[in-house]
Amino acid sequence: MTETLPTILDRIGNTALLPLRKIVPANGARILLKLESANPTGSMKDRQALAMIEAAEADGRLKPGGAVVEYTGGSTGVSLALVCAVKGHPLHIVSSDAFAKEKLDHMRLLGATLQVIKSESGGQTEKLTRDMIEAARVIAEETGAFWTDQLKNHDQLAAYHRLGDEIRRQTEGKVDAFVQSVGTAASLRGTGERLRQHDGQIRIVAVEPAESAVLSGGSSGAHKIDGIGAGFVVPLWQTGVADRIERVSTEEARAMALRLAREEGLFCGTSTGANVVAALRLAGEMGAGATIVTVMCDTGMKYLKGFGEFI
């Protein structure tokens, strides 16, 4: 019998784990990719958005029909737009022209109202992030909307604890390393925390843009890896949450995203490309017999125009 679900939100989570077949190092560790593109909006941020909204509804911070506001590079905004559409919450999003137009269009189609801040260089910078945060704060203050404030929101960690549980179940506990790029740091922190609860020896590797490698002591700068690299050390980041930090350039991340599409049939965004670049580096060190899990953060359909020169 075909399963009938209450709402589309019940399709969030429980995504598949897939081994890379061709993009692997010789005699290196096995790399498994968590297919978060299978979530309803094609992004792992569906998990985060649902957790933040449901926690606020449960404790009364967000009333029935109450408005929500957030700043976002795109994926969180699309996910919030989906959740708010289903639950009946008006949504105001602050974003920028630095991010994929497909994401901005998707948010509007799901009913969100957008304020789009113009970037200085077409890339994400610390100033742009802070300008977006301030704009969202002003909207929340003037309208009384509930501000999810994703860079500081601890409610989302529970969603990524569940992601860690899924990974452990799917690998039967046989996972030696977890690799994930850092935006709010919630996915790396929450998933890493849960995996470490089961195995204190697991290696947790963070990934950040080489052009803005602030977590590893570098300078802030502009980059074009959507969804990661805020340009400053984000509040949810904790020293010790990762055993190491890998720097991956926009060029490396984009090239790997194209390889994944053409060699593995996996059409993803640049944050996923960055994850796989870092996972491959680690796989060569760990050797055969080890298992590394990383994340396909979202679908490449969110970035289709950005790959236009290759079509």
Structure confidence at residue 281 (pLDDT): 97
Would the pLDDT of 309 be above 70?
no
Give 94's pLDDT tier (boundaries 50, 70, 90). very high
Single out the residue in 104, 124, 147 at which a domain terminates.
147
Mean pLDDT, rounded, for 246-275: 97
Q: How far apart are CA 300 and CA 292, in angstroms?
A: 22
Mean pLDDT, rounded, for 284-300: 95
Q: How far apart are CA 299 and CA 292, in angstroms?
A: 21
pLDDT tens-digit readout, 133-158: 999 999 999 999 999 999 999 999 99
Structure confidence at residue 12 (pLDDT): 98
**Mean model confidence pLDDT for the chain:** 94
Q: Which of 37, 43, 45, 181 is catalytic?
A: 45
Q: How far apart are CA 56 and CA 148, in angstroms?
A: 9
Other C-beta atoms lying within 10 Å of the C-beta of residue 262: 13
Single out the residue in 147, 169, 203 at which a domain terminates.
147
Q: Are 103 and 17 within one domain? A: no
The answer to whether the beta carbons of residues 212 and 221 sit under 8 Å apart is: yes
The answer to whether the beta carbons of residues 174 and 208 sit under 8 Å apart is: no
Would the pLDDT of 1 be above 60?
no
Tell me which residue has tokens 């969202």.
Answer: 136
**Residue 2, domain member (yes or no):** no
Mean pLDDT, rounded, for 259-278: 97
Give 4's pLDDT tier (boundaries 50, 70, 90). confident
Domain that holds residue 50: 45-147
Q: How far apart are CA 79 and CA 50, in angstroms?
A: 8
Would the pLDDT of 9 be above 70?
yes
Q: For 38, which DSSP code?
A: G
Structure confidence at residue 214 (pLDDT): 96
Structural domain tally of the chain? 2
Instruction: Reply yes or no on whether 43 is catalytic.
Output: no
**CATH for 234:** 3.40.50.1100
Cβ-proximal residues to 225 (8 Å cutoff; 6+ apart), any chain:
124, 181, 209, 248, 250, 253, 270, 271, 274
Mean pLDDT, rounded, for 203-220: 96
pLDDT tens-digit readout, 156-192: 999 999 999 999 999 999 999 999 999 999 999 999 9
Mean pLDDT, rounded, for 266-286: 97
Q: Are 116 and 202 within one domain? A: no
Q: Are 28 and 175 within one domain? A: yes
For 162, what's the count of Cα atoms within 13 Å in the CB-facing half-sphere? 15
Question: Which of the residue ranges 138-142, 220-224, 264-268 would you say has the lowest mean pLDDT?
Answer: 220-224
What is the model's pTM?
0.93
What stretches of 144-185 show up as alpha helix (H) in DSSP? 157-170
Structure confidence at residue 310 (pLDDT): 61
Q: Which of 37, 75, 187, 271 is catalytic?
A: 271
Q: Are 183 and 52 within one domain? A: no
Q: Are 29 and 166 within one domain? A: yes
Q: Are 239 and 294 within one domain? A: yes
Give 13's pLDDT tier (boundaries 50, 70, 90). very high
Mean pLDDT, rounded, for 246-253: 98
Give 2's pLDDT tier (boundaries 50, 70, 90). low
Tell me which residue has tokens 């700068």.
Answer: 221
pLDDT tens-digit readout, 55-86: 999 999 999 999 999 999 878 999 999 999 99
Instruction: Reply yes or no on whether 45 is catalytic.
Output: yes
